[in-house]
Structure 1
Amino acid sequence: MLGKNAKLFFGVSVIILIVAIVLASWGFPKIVQKQIHKSLQIQNSSVMFEKWRELPIPLKFKVYLFNVTNAEDVNNGAKPILNEIGPYVYKEYRVKRILGYGENDTIRYMLKKTFYFDQEASGGLNENDEVTVINYSYLAALLTVLDIMPAAAVIVNNALESFFPNLTDPFMKVKVKDLLFDGIFLNCVGENSALSLVCGKIRLEKPSVMRPAEDDKGFYFSMFSHLNLTESGPYDMKRGIENINELGHIVAYNNKTTMSQWGDPYCGQINGSDSSIFPPIEGNPPAKISTFEPEICRSFFASLVGPRDIFNLSAYYYEIDEMLFASKSANPNNKCFCKRNWSANHDGCLLMGLLNINPCKNAPAIVSLPHFYLASEEILEYFDGGISPDREKHRSFVYLEATTGVVIKGVQRLQFNIELRNVPAIPELENVRTGLFPLLWIEEGAEISKNLQDELHHANKLLSYVEAVRWVILGLSIILCIASAIYVSRTGGLNPWPNRNSVNFILRPGNTIDINKIR
């Protein structure tokens, strides 16, 4: 009876061990994975939904301006000397307005940004500060005419002298708030027929940086007012319910699945997310991650550098590398970002580290990383001071939490430049050196708050408990199985049939043999 109980005990312990092995190797990880996916998916019941719909903390939007300290000398042919002033810091709030749900597991929404000047974070800087900067809008207008109809440049320049107040050279003295958000007034009232053509073209094309004056007598030019309190989109984004690896991927913007401005399927691809959400990593980080930037009509990508610890959290660190804005000789895939018909003797491809966004903005603007970081050193030779690329100050990067893919900290930096071109027929440009001139650079980024850090720490602690529990269960099952095996062995449960050659069998009562008796 005791042996039968022992064998039953052993059988049950083996079954428990098998179940524990299945749970440890497949069951627990699958349950945990399912819960993580459920919390990240974009649906009303998920933990992530409200945090995605309205960012719980504002981003920091920092602006650094390039003040020209020797404008008069530059007008006479000297190299520019610049003085970086900043950062002017703004709090950037983001809210998404849900329009509905589409086919193929997508959600459609509009994105609204709101900017507030942060005086405390800006320190001694103030929006009323005056700076001397390159006249971005004047050069954009003039260069457009020079590239399309050079013969009309002088006539148009006469009109621009009426359009831009106090225009005497390619620089302007302006208040920071007017340049960035409030706007610089540009006059459309006058008898000059060319002025009417310039203003008519602006009314027709409605460039985002030009805001019509309320009295219809002109326009206000500013770099970022079109981003403030204005919805962009619609965006169509994957929700991650059908395939968690597609979570956050933008599949269409403004009802378009490609950016046709580049005239090429590769460069026109819409890749990645809106930078607020990424798929879970779960210990298998992708080599690259992408974000879509509608302001420059293309996607950015960052390459995996490796694992990092930040805020006592395990993360993967990604950084933009030189291949993003590489010349076509270094990265042949970038050849479709070259602007065709740049000039008669140029294929439109710029130097290393630059991107011409004319096809996107319909204006001759060129973007780069701040201070021409990762760009050709040839560009730096144009300046006599004030440009100093530094990886620590000018890189763009993101830390993604090692399991969930949540953005722990991220910074994106971008510089806006325009060509200052020597044009002998134009009085304002007849003596300047030709070169690429920076106006400003921006830094847009955030890091999770202490409360969100605590949430992630708590979630990771729970995961560690679950991890410990599954191995404890497996360990106890093994111990139970070993103990039951020993118990069965000691009770003889493992030897149900006697060994016929054993001493016990020979000496068993009733089986005595007279060994002296010989037949």
Structure 2
Amino acid sequence: MLLKSCCIYGIGVFSILILILGISLVLSDVFPHFIQSVVKTEVVLKNGTETFEAWEDPPAPIYMQFYFFNVTNPLEVLEGDRPAVMEIGPYTYREYRPMEQVAFQDNGTKVTAVNTKTYIFQRNMSRGPESDLIRTVNIPAMTVMEQVKNSPLEARVVSDYMKSTGEGLFSTHTVGELLWGYEDNLLKALKLLKPELDDVFGLFYKSNASNDGTYVFFTGQQNYKDFARVATWRDESSLNWWTSDECNMINGTNGASFHPIITKNEALYMFSSDLCRSLYALYEDDVTVRGIPGYRFVPPSEVFANRTVNPANAGFCVPAGNCLGSGLLNVSACKQGAPIIMSSPHFYQADDKFVQDVFGMEPKKEQHQTAIDINPITGIILQAAKRLQINVYVEKISTFSQTGNVRTVVFPVVYLNESVVIDEASAKKLQAIVTAKNVVENIPFMLIGLGILFGGIFMFLMCRQKVPESSAAERQPLLSS
């Protein structure tokens, strides 16, 4: 009987200890911190690791889609009417972007590399062939006219040449030519006077099978938040195109990788050589991609807001004080003087004026927003879509009859959608990590459950051991009288 009582009380003590242990682990947050410390240690750019291999040669397929804006009323535009455009696309390319010339330095705390990008046309994922014709703004001509407009002699020479060759404000070229380059007659003529000029023009000329310069990245060895962060680009730690130190800062990663243990209240910084600047994204919503939980981060409207809305953007006004409206970025300073203005597709999040200036603009968040879905534990990108629009600043130039009576307008040329979704093999590996995390994090609650279960068993046995007095009396033998 004594042994039985000891066993029962032992169960009771055991249940209490398990319950206390489980509650203590929940309150102390030991297990999540343990998981985070493991991830912080493992997610480092170190030769021979899966993290490094995925960074060096991303396994998920990346696609670049181009959507052109075909001008449908060129004669009316020259007479002063509102431009009308029709979106034509997509023209899709598979993008390969391995890191090359990789070399570690500073005891493994930094790594240098170039990010070579190659584009292969995907006819089955495209509206038509690369030979499709597009009528758009004659960007080489517009660039030259803007550059010589204040020099009467040069302007006259250029204007006369354009008249003799029939060049005007608009031109028609194939998709392939507009993207990757074609020999331009005006540029070819100018090259005779200025040999340093290139006589080939293309929106992404020299960008195929090429790179945007040498990067030095932090590996994350010293601080997990530095994982893949850009230390220098083209041997510089800051830019020189903008008019303030803040705007010239190189912040964050190159957008292809992010540090692990991401929280909802932090800003994710990225440097984009396409935009010639750094930007940031903020948490918007929880998402699930291929069964894996993630956080969606998007650049807020303040990133491209006018200086009256966001004073920090005053440095992006070039020349100083020459500011465009919200949603636009003048990148002519880093595009060899070409009057290129960047925005979101269809002027999404830009001032409504720019949407109304061009017939055919229909901004939609779902189609035109840049968004990045990230697994918060590992920092791995689950899916992403970088969406940018290339526009040209068009105005009437009195010394050039080719501009007619055209309105001053930010003219859309093409927008791109660079997208990626995690591949199945990587998703399975990440799913295993997520599952293990969930199991480990639930151990404290499992202990609490076991404590409650054994506590219930203890109470049940205690009740069984306690025998009612009346029942005990009934079991006593009857005494003979």
Shift of residue 70, structure 1, vs aligned partner: 1.4
> Structure 1: how far apart are the matches of 2:95 and 2:188?
36
Are the equivalent residues in 2 in contact too, given 1:38–1:46 (CA < 8 A)? no
TM-score by length of 1: 0.79
Q: Which residue of 2 aligns with 1:445?
A: 419
Question: SS where residue 412 of structure 1 aligns?
Answer: strand
Contact 2:18-2:450 at 8 Å conserved across structures:
no
Q: Structure 1 residues 11 and 45, CA, compared in 2 at 3 Å: closer, same or farther? A: farther
Counterpart of 2:155 in structure 1 is 153
The aligned length equals: 459
Give secondary structure in 2 for the equivalent of 1:260: coil
Secondary structure at the aligned position of 1:262 is classed as coil
Q: Structure 1 CA distance, aligned partners of 2:57 and 2:315?
A: 36
CA contact (8 A) 2:108 2:221 kept: no
Q: Which residue of 1 aligns with 2:192?
A: 196
**Corresponding letter in the other structure for 1:336:** G
Equivalent positions of 1:406-425 (< 5 A) are 406-425=380-399
CA contact (8 A) 1:140 1:418 kept: no
Output one character per residue of 1:255-303: Cα deviation in whole Å (capped at 9) or x when no partner: 1111111132100111121111112235x32342221111222012222
Q: Greater CA deviation, 37-46 or 12-21? A: 12-21
What secondary structure, in the 3-state scheme, does the structure 2 residue paired with 1:87 have? strand
SS at match of 2:225: helix
Aligned match of 2:56: 53
The residue type paired with residue 433 of structure 2 is A
The separation in 2 between residues aligned to 1:473 and 1:161, in whole angstroms, is: 85
Q: Deviations over 1:9-48 (max 9, x none)?
A: 9999988777766666454334322332233221124332
What's the offset of the Cα at 1:319? 1.8
SS at match of 2:125: helix
Answer whether contact 2:145 2:400 (CA < 8 A) is retained: no
| Deviation of the 1:151 alpha carbon | 5.7
- Establish whether residue 274 from structure 1 lines up as the match of residue 254 from structure 2: yes
Report if the CA contact (8 A) 2:18-2:448 is conserved. no
Give 1:470 deviation, angstroms. Answer: 4.0
1:231 aligns with 2:211: yes
CA contact (8 A) 2:187 2:200 kept: no
Kept in 1, the 8 Å contact 2:225–2:259? The answer is yes
Q: CA deviation at 1:188?
A: 6.3
Is residue 396 of structure 2 the alignment partner of residue 392 of structure 1?
Answer: no
Equivalences for residues 172-187 of structure 1 within 5 A: 172-186=171-185
Residue 443 of structure 2: aligned partner: 469
Q: What is the CA–CA distance in structure 1 between the aligned matches of 2:14 and 2:448, rounded to whole Å?
A: 15
Label 1:370 to 1:401 Cα distance change in 2 as closer, same or farther (>3 A). same
Q: Is the 8 A contact 1:39 1:47 kept in 2?
A: no
SS across alignment from 2:353: helix
Cα distance in 1, alignment partners of residues 364 and 268 from structure 2:
23
* Secondary structure at 2:53 match in 1: helix
1:357-506 equivalences under 5 Å are 357-363=331-337, 364-383=339-358, 385-473=359-447, 475-476=449-450
- Is the partner of 1:32 in helix, strand or coil? helix
1:137 aligns with 2:140: yes
Counterpart residue identity of residue 424, structure 2: K
2:244 to 264, 270, 292: 264
1:76 aligns to 2:50 (yes or no): no
Larger radius of gyration: 1
**Which amino acid in the other structure matches residue 110 of structure 2?**
T
Offset at 1:421? 1.4
Q: Residues 339 and 189 (structure 1 numbering): CA distance in 2 closer, same or farther, change over 3 Å?
A: closer
Deviation at 1:471, TM superposition (A): 3.2
Distance 2:23 2:49 in 1: 31
CA distance in 2, matches of 1:69, 1:366: 21
Structure 2 CA distance for partners of 1:104 and 1:49, relative to 1, 3 Å: closer
- Does the alignment pair 1:315 with 2:317? no
Partner Cα distance (2:10, 2:405) in 1? 100
User: Cα distance 1:390–1:380, how it changes in 2: closer, same or farther (>3 A)?
Assistant: same
Q: Contact 2:344/2:389 (CA < 8 Å) preserved in 1?
A: yes
Counterpart Cα distance in 2 of 1:92 and 1:183? 22
Q: Which residue of 1 aligns with 2:477?
A: none
Q: Is the 8 A contact 1:114 1:229 kept in 2?
A: yes
* Alignment counterpart, residue 303 of structure 2, candidates 324, 328, 332: 324
Residue in 2 that maps onto 1:255? 235
Deviation at 1:226, TM superposition (A): 1.9
Residues 433, 10 of structure 1: alpha-carbon distance in 2 compared, 3 angstrom cutoff: closer
SS at match of 2:442: helix
The DSSP-based 3-state class of the residue aligned with 1:99 is strand
**Residue type at the aligned position of 1:377:** D
Q: 1:497 maps to what in 2?
A: none
Counterpart Cα distance in 1 of 2:222 and 2:64: 35
Query: In the superposition, relative to structure 1, how do residues 68 and 38 fare at CA in structure 2: closer, same or farther (>3 Å)?
Result: same
**Aligned partner letter, 1:196:** L
Q: Does 1:306 align with 2:252?
A: no
- Give the equivalent residue in structure 2 for 1:502: none
Q: Deviations over 1:180-228 (max 9, x none)?
A: 11434446666xxx6633x4342xxxxxxx4xxxxxxxx2211113221
Given candidates 38, 41, 50, the residue that maps to 1:38 is 41
Higher relative contact order (CA 8 A, sep 6+): 2
For residues 30 and 297 of structure 2, the distance between their equivalents in structure 1, rounded to whole angstroms, comes to 32
Residue of structure 1 in register with 2:126 after alignment:
122
Q: Percent identity?
A: 26
Deviates more, 1:241-250 or 1:448-457: 448-457
CA contact (8 A) 1:57 1:93 kept: no
Q: 1:79 to 1:468 in 2, by over 3 A?
A: closer
Structure 1 residue 99: Cα displacement: 2.4
Residue 241 (structure 1) aligned to one of 211, 218, 221: 221
Residue pair 2:36, 2:261 contacting (<8 A) in 1 also: no
1:354 equivalent to 2:328? Answer yes
Return the offset for 1:2.
7.5
